[in-house]
């Protein structure tokens, strides 16, 4: 008689996993027990406080010690992202080109509210998000939400409101809530953006050293560590500047997360001539250009260490770790011509055909023409605006186009809710023009006033939305 299995499956661990799939931010690690030597054995657990917070519309308190990344007002920002708002979007037909046909959207306002309003129509529908939020350099303005008592008092004292009564404050390190304010700003927005993403969607977030580490922690929490795709390092300048004491910074980061990595499509760039330079066809193979590939096993395997006998009878010994395939497979591949003997029968050659390559898998270091530089990005703006530099911190169209290339198909929707000069809209129009796609864009931008001393103001653009919308009109005309 078969013995009954006496082990039960670990139901608790399974349940923890199920809840973590729904609310990745509630997954934590706790001490399960101690070994004899006093060292702790850890296990995954659900942070009940955070789970209760997810299910509650009032603040939930809780003091337990556990593995977590937190900051003052974190729970308030969960509340803030879950709280509904009583606002609607008002269309401006007269400002829109072809309002009834294009499904592109330009939303003026605070992106927290916009992200909530978009949930109604776009829940689970956005394939790609690119955002370039304020990096928290100590100079940029961070939009303040309502819940932070300390900051409200600070604002009341300092009177830093913009003309529309919005609370735009310069986040300086002397603020005492430097990272806190930035985290409270970004966290609810990231949570809301995840819900807008399609199950096979992807988000690219550009950031620098100031908050990269914190951003990664909150993204791991919101999207789940398993959905981390990559940190791209983007070389934004070719110039070496002498304005820092220790390093001249030439790189920024772009964090890439998916909603569900298992569903995320494979990423490919088009292959360039440079990528194909190692392919040739010296033996007039009817399958076209090929290059030789590795025939060695990456790890030692005894069963893969066998001799191959060439047609002239000479014996080819295996490499140190063995061959890449079993003896059977090699025989098969020799028959199909995928493997051939070297002319002098001293070894074998594996053919990798160009026609089998779908494209080039992107590296996580982005530099050069395919991605552009900050300088090129500014030149594009100048060119569009008759020689006037109306926006100081644009990203290159090429950079965002590269993301669209790998992250979208031709009919997808792309969202940028820190859209600035609307580079993302420009990139979407340009890539559609190049590949015949019908991607749509949604831009969100706060009507942040521009300084009276700037070229933008003097040219007639009173806030950043004026600049973004004009760029879309001008770039749109080009295509």
Ligand X SMILES: C[S@@+](CC[C@H](N)C(=O)[O-])C[C@H]1O[C@@H](n2cnc3c(N)ncnc32)[C@H](O)[C@@H]1O
Distances (CA, A) of 120 to 97, 153, 418, 446: 24, 34, 20, 21
Query: Which stretch of DSSP H or E encloses residue 339?
Result: strand 339-341
Exactly one of 237, 393, 454, 459 binds ligand X (CB under 6 A); that residue is 393
The minimum distance between CB 131 and ligand X, in angstroms, equals 8
The minimum distance between CB 414 and ligand X, in angstroms, equals 13
The minimum distance between CB 418 and ligand X, in angstroms, equals 4
Binding mask 233-262 for ligand X (x = CB under 6 A): ------------------------------
The minimum distance between CB 266 and ligand X, in angstroms, equals 26
What is the distance, to the nearest Å, from the Cα of residue 397 to the centroid of all Cα atoms in its chain? Answer: 16
Whole-angstrom distance, CA of residue 371 vs CA of residue 183: 28
User: Of 224 and 394, which CB lies nearer to ligand X in the complex structure?
Assistant: 394
- Residue of 66, 70, 62, 18 lying closest to 43 (CA atoms): 66
* 204 near ligand X, judged by CB under 6 A: no
Distances (CA, A) of 397 to 167, 308, 379: 30, 53, 11
- Residue of 398, 395, 434, 432 lying closest to 413 (CA atoms): 432
* 461 near ligand X, judged by CB under 6 A: no
* 76 near ligand X, judged by CB under 6 A: no
Whole-angstrom distance, CA of residue 415 vs CA of residue 127: 8
* 421 near ligand X, judged by CB under 6 A: yes
> Which letter does DSSP use for residue 280 in this model?
B
Torsion angles phi and psi, residue 229, rounded to 5: -105, -50
* 448 near ligand X, judged by CB under 6 A: yes
Question: Is 396 within 8 Å of 372 (Cβ atoms)?
Answer: yes
User: Of 108 and 412, which CB lies nearer to ligand X in the complex structure?
Assistant: 108
User: Of 324 and 395, which CB lies nearer to ligand X in the complex structure?
Assistant: 395
User: Of 322 and 394, which CB lies nearer to ligand X in the complex structure?
Assistant: 394
User: Of 220 and 423, which CB lies nearer to ligand X in the complex structure?
Assistant: 423
Q: Interface with ligand X by CB under 6 A: which range of 13-21, 193-201, 222-230, 414-422?
A: 414-422
* 418 near ligand X, judged by CB under 6 A: yes
Exactly one of 445, 456, 470, 472 binds ligand X (CB under 6 A); that residue is 445
Identify the sign of the CA torsion 43, 44, 47, 52.
Answer: negative
* 132 near ligand X, judged by CB under 6 A: yes
Which residues of 208-303 form beta strands (DSSP E)? Answer: 228-235, 251-258, 290-293
* 446 near ligand X, judged by CB under 6 A: yes
Exactly one of 116, 216, 259, 395 binds ligand X (CB under 6 A); that residue is 395
Q: Interface with ligand X by CB under 6 A: which range of 119-127, 262-270, 274-282, 441-449?
A: 441-449
Whole-angstrom distance, CA of residue 423 vs CA of residue 449: 19
* 151 near ligand X, judged by CB under 6 A: no
The minimum distance between CB 185 and ligand X, in angstroms, equals 7
* 420 near ligand X, judged by CB under 6 A: yes
Q: Helices (H), strands (E): how many in the chain?
A: 13, 17
For the chain, the 3-state helix, strand and coil shares in percent, each to the nearest 5, are 35, 20, 45
Distances (CA, A) of 73 to 41, 112, 460: 31, 16, 39
The minimum distance between CB 208 and ligand X, in angstroms, equals 11
The minimum distance between CB 280 and ligand X, in angstroms, equals 41
- Residue of 459, 426, 420 lying closest to 441 (CA atoms): 426
- Residue of 407, 466, 314, 430 lying closest to 126 (CA atoms): 407
User: Of 219 and 464, which CB lies nearer to ligand X in the complex structure?
Assistant: 464
Q: Interface with ligand X by CB under 6 A: which range of 172-180, 312-320, 358-366, 445-453?
A: 445-453
User: Of 204 and 290, which CB lies nearer to ligand X in the complex structure?
Assistant: 204
The minimum distance between CB 35 and ligand X, in angstroms, equals 49
* 394 near ligand X, judged by CB under 6 A: yes
Residues contacting ligand X: total by CB under 6 A: 18
> Which letter does DSSP use for residue 308 in this model?
E
Question: Is 240 within 8 Å of 276 (Cβ atoms)?
Answer: no
- C-alpha dihedral (173, 208, 414, 462), degrees to nearest 10: 50
* 423 near ligand X, judged by CB under 6 A: yes
Exactly one of 186, 232, 431, 464 binds ligand X (CB under 6 A); that residue is 464
Question: Is 432 within 8 Å of 401 (Cβ atoms)?
Answer: no
Q: Interface with ligand X by CB under 6 A: which range of 13-21, 50-58, 339-347, 388-396?
A: 388-396
Position closest to ligand X via CB = 420
Exactly one of 106, 122, 143, 441 binds ligand X (CB under 6 A); that residue is 143
- What are the residues binding ligand X (CB under 6 A)? 110-111, 132, 134, 143, 391, 393-395, 418, 420-421, 423, 444-446, 448, 464
């Amino acid at each position: 008689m078969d013995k009954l299995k006496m082990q039960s499956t670990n139901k608790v661990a399974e349940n923890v996993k199920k809840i973590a799939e729904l609310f990745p931010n509630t997954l934590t690690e706790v001490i399960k027990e101690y070994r004899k030597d006093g060292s702790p054995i850890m296990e995954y657990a659900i942070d009940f406080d955070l789970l209760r917070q997810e299910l509650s519309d009032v603040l939930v308190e809780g003091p337990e010690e556990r593995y977590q990344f937190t900051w003052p007002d974190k729970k308030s920002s969960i509340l803030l992202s879950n709280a509904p708002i009583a606002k609607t979007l008002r269309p401006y037909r007269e400002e829109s080109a072809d309002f009834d046909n294009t499904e592109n959207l330009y939303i003026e306002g605070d992106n927290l509210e916009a992200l909530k309003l978009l949930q109604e129509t776009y829940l689970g529908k956005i394939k790609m998000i690119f955002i370039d939020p304020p990096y928290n350099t100590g100079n940029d303005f961070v939009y303040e939400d309502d819940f932070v008592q300390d900051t409200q008092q600070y604002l009341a004292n300092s009177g830093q409101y913009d003309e529309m009564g919005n609370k735009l404050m310069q986040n300086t390190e002397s603020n005492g809530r430097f990272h806190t304010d930035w985290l409270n700003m970004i966290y609810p927005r990231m949570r809301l953006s995840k819900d807008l993403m399609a199950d096979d969607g992807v988000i690219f977030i550009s950031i620098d050293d100031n908050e990269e580490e914190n951003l990664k922690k909150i993204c791991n929490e919101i999207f789940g560590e398993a959905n981390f795709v990559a940190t791209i390092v983007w070389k934004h300048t070719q110039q070496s500047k002498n304005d820092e004491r220790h390093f001249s910074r030439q790189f920024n980061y772009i964090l890439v997360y998916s909603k569900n990595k298992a569903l995320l499509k494979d990423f490919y760039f088009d292959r360039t001539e440079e990528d194909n330079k190692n392919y040739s066809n010296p033996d007039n193979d009817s399958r076209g250009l090929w290059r030789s590939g590795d025939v060695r096993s990456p790890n030692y395997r005894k069963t893969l260490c066998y001799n191959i006998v060439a047609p002239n009878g000479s014996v080819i010994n295996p490499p140190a770790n063995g061959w890449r395939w079993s003896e059977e497979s090699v025989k098969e591949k020799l028959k199909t011509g995928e493997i051939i003997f070297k002319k002098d029968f001293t070894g074998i050659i594996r053919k990798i055909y160009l026609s089998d390559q779908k494209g080039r898998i992107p590296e996580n270091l982005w530099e050069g023409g395919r991605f552009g530089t900050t300088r090129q990005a500014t030149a594009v703006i100048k060119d569009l605006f008759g020689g006037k530099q109306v926006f100081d911190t644009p990203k290159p169209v090429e950079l965002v186009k590269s993301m669209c290339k790998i992250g979208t198909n031709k009919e997808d929707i792309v969202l940028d809710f820190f859209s600035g000069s609307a580079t993302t809209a420009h990139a979407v129009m340009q890539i559609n023009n190049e590949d015949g796609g019908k991607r749509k864009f949604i831009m969100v931008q706060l009507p942040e006033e521009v300084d009276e001393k700037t070229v933008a103001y003097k040219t007639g653009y009173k806030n950043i939305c004026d600049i973004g919308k004009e760029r879309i009109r001008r770039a749109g005309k080009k295509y």
